[in-house]
Structure 1
Amino acid sequence: MQGRREALRLLGAGALAAGAWPVLAQGTRAPRLVTISGAITEVVYALGVESQLVGTDTTSLYPEAARQTAKVGYMRQLSAEGLLSLKPDAVIATTEAGPPVVLDQLRTAGVVLELVQADHSWGEVQRKVAAVSRAAARESQARALTARLDGEWAEVQKQVAADTGRKPRVLFVLSHSASPQVSGEKTAAHAMIGFAGGVNCLSGFQGYRPMTAEAMASAAPDVILTTTQSIEAHGGAEKFWQRPELALTPAFKRRALVTQDALLLLGFGPRLPVAVGELHKSLRAA
C-alpha cells in the first residue's frame, strides 16, 4: 500500500515537472486542468481557458471540441491512475464524482481538488464558474462571465414569472436503457420543471423510481418531458409512446411530449438560462 501511495504521489508530482504547459502573461505556467462534469467542461470553454484542459469525463460532450479531449471515464467510476497519468494540477468536479477513495488518492498525490456542491440551483452554476476560475488562475476573467450569466438568468426568470397561465403538470422520464425511471424531488429534472413554470406531478419521494403503470395513472401528467437521448434509445417518438405505462396518462391522449438534450436539460452549466427559456416555451406549446 505504501508503495502504491508513493507511485501516485510521484505521478502527481510529475505535473510540476512537465515542460509543455501554456504560459500565463506573467510568465508563470498555467495550471493543467481535468474536468469531471459536462457542465464544468462547458465553463472551461466559456471562460476561454480550454488550452489548459488536458482531460475530461465521458459526460463532457459540449461544445464539440470537448468530445476530442482525453477521457478519464465516467464521473462516478474514476481511477486515480488514469487521472494522474494526465499530470493535472487541478481536478474540478461536482460532489457527485467518485468513488471517494479516488478523490483521496488525488489529494495524497498533491493535486488540487475543487468539488462543487450539486444542489440544482443557480448558485450551483455560479460555484462552477468560480471553481474553474480559481483552478485555472483566471479569476479576473470570470467576473465578466458571471455578470453576463447572472443577467441572462434574471431575464429568463422574469419571462417565466410573467406567464400567469395554468402551470402544466409535467412528468420527467429518464429512459436511456431498458428500465425507464421517473423523477421525484431533489433531482435536476424536478428543479428544471419548476424553473420553467411547470409542476412536477410526482412528489413524496426523492431521486428516481421505476416507471410503473400505477405511478403513471396516479400522476396524470399533462406533458411528458424526456431527453433526446431517451427518444433515440427507443428508436423514435412513436416507439417511445408505445410503452404501455404512458397510455394511462392525459399526455398520451394529446401526444404531449417535450424533449431536450440531456446535458442541456440536466447539466446545470452556463447554458442553464437558455435551457430554461426553451423548456418554458416548449411546455406551453405542448
Structure 2
Amino acid sequence: MTAGLGVLGLPAMAQQKGPRLITVSGAITEVVYALGAEQQLVGTDTTSLYPPPALKTPKVGYMRQLSAEGLLSLKPDAVIATTESGPPVVLDQLRSAGVKLELVEADHSWGEVQRKVQAVGRAAAREVQARDLQARLDGEWTDMQKRVAAFTGRKPRVLFVLSHSASPQVSGEKTAAHAVIGFAGGVNCLAGFQGYRPMTAEAMASAAPDIILTSTQGIEAHGGVDKFWARPELALTPAFRKRALVTQDALLLLGFGPRLPGAIGELHQRFLSV
C-alpha cells in the first residue's frame, strides 16, 4: 500500500509527476499513498499522520480552519477534501482560482471510503489503479462483515469517549464512533442525540457500558490508563469494574480510510475478548 516510499527523501518538486495534489483528510492522504501517487503531493492537512512519510509533507493547517492563501501558495492542480472541511468561503476561493476541488461526502459509511478512493483516482489521474484498489478493499470489507455477522452472542454495550482534552465527551448517533461500534458488532449505549456531549456522571450511570472505547491519543493526553480510569464518572459503569478498555489510533479508528476493514476486524476481536 506504500509503493514508492523509497524515494520520499527527495524533494517533492523533483519527484512530482501528474497533477499536483493537496489532501485535506488523513484518510484521503492514505489513499494517495495506497495508489502510489505520493510523489504528486505538494501539501496535506494536520490530520495526515499516516503513513509516517506523510508527516514530512508541507502542512496547510487543520481541515476545518483552512486558509486560501496557504493552499494556493503551493500551486495545486487539485485539492481533495471531505464535506467536513472548511470554512466554505475558502473552498469557494479555491474554485474561483481555478483549482479542481474534489469534495467527498463524509457519512461514516463504507461508501465514504469508496468515494475517497474514486476521488483520489480522478484527481491524481490514476483511475485504473483506483479501481484495482477499490476491488481489493471491497473484498476485505465483505470478508470482515461476514466474520462479524458470524457472531451470534450478546452484542456488547460500548461507549466511545473523546478524551483528548480535560473535558471528555461521549459519542451519540451520526458520528464516526457510532458507526464503527456497529460495524464491529457492538451497540453504542448512548442514543437519542446526535454528535457529542460532555461526559457526566448521570450519562455514565444510565449508559451502563460493558466496554469503554477511546483513542490511544486520548489515553496519552490523560497521562496513561490509570489516570484515565481515575475519572470519577467512569467508576459508575460496569466497564470500570472489569477495566474493559479498548483503544485504537484515532486516525485508524475514526478516519474511514483504506485501513478500515482491518481496524474493524481488530475491534471486533477485542470486543469479544475484554
Candidates 95, 112, 132, aligned match of 2:83:
95
User: 1:255-276 deviations in whole A, cap 9, x for unaligned?
Assistant: 0000000000000000000000
Q: How many percent of aligned residue pairs carry the same amino acid?
A: 82
Q: How far did 1:20 drift?
A: 6.0
User: 1:58-84 deviations in whole A, cap 9, x for unaligned?
Assistant: 000000000000000000000000000
* Aligned residues of 1:21 and 1:31 also touching (Cα < 8 A): no
Correspondence for 1:16: none
Equivalent runs, 1:133-148 vs 2, <5 Å: 133-148=121-136
1:249 pairs with 2:215: no
Gap runs ≥5 in structure 2: 1-12
* Aligned residues of 2:43 and 2:58 also touching (Cα < 8 A): yes
Candidates 238, 249, 258, aligned match of 1:261:
249
Distance 1:231 1:21, change over 3 A: closer
Letter in 2 for 1:198: G
User: 1:161-213 deviations in whole A, cap 9, x for unaligned?
Assistant: 00111100000000001110000000000000000000000000000000000
Distance 1:21 1:84, change over 3 A: farther
In structure 1, C-alpha distance between the alignment counterparts of 2:76 and 2:29, rounded to whole Å: 15
Gap runs ≥5 in structure 1: 1-18, 24-29
Aligned length: 262
RMSD, aligned α-carbons: 0.9
1:129 pairs with 2:117: yes
Q: State the SS of the aligned residue for 1:221.
A: coil
1:161 pairs with 2:155: no
TM-score between both structures, scaled by the size of structure 1: 0.91
1:115 pairs with 2:103: yes
Q: How far did 1:21 drift?
A: 7.1
In structure 2, C-alpha distance between the alignment counterparts of 1:200 and 1:242, rounded to whole Å: 23
User: 1:109-158 deviations in whole A, cap 9, x for unaligned?
Assistant: 00000000000000000000000000001101111100000000000000
In structure 2, C-alpha distance between the alignment counterparts of 1:132 and 1:106, rounded to whole Å: 17
Correspondence for 1:22: 16
Correspondence for 1:4: none
Correspondence for 1:214: 202
Structure 1 stretches of 4+ moved >3 Å = 19-23
Letter in 2 for 1:155: D
Q: How far did 1:22 drift?
A: 3.3
* Aligned residues of 1:172 and 1:189 also touching (Cα < 8 A): yes
Q: State the SS of the aligned residue for 1:274.
A: helix
Bigger Cα Rg: 1
1:171 pairs with 2:159: yes
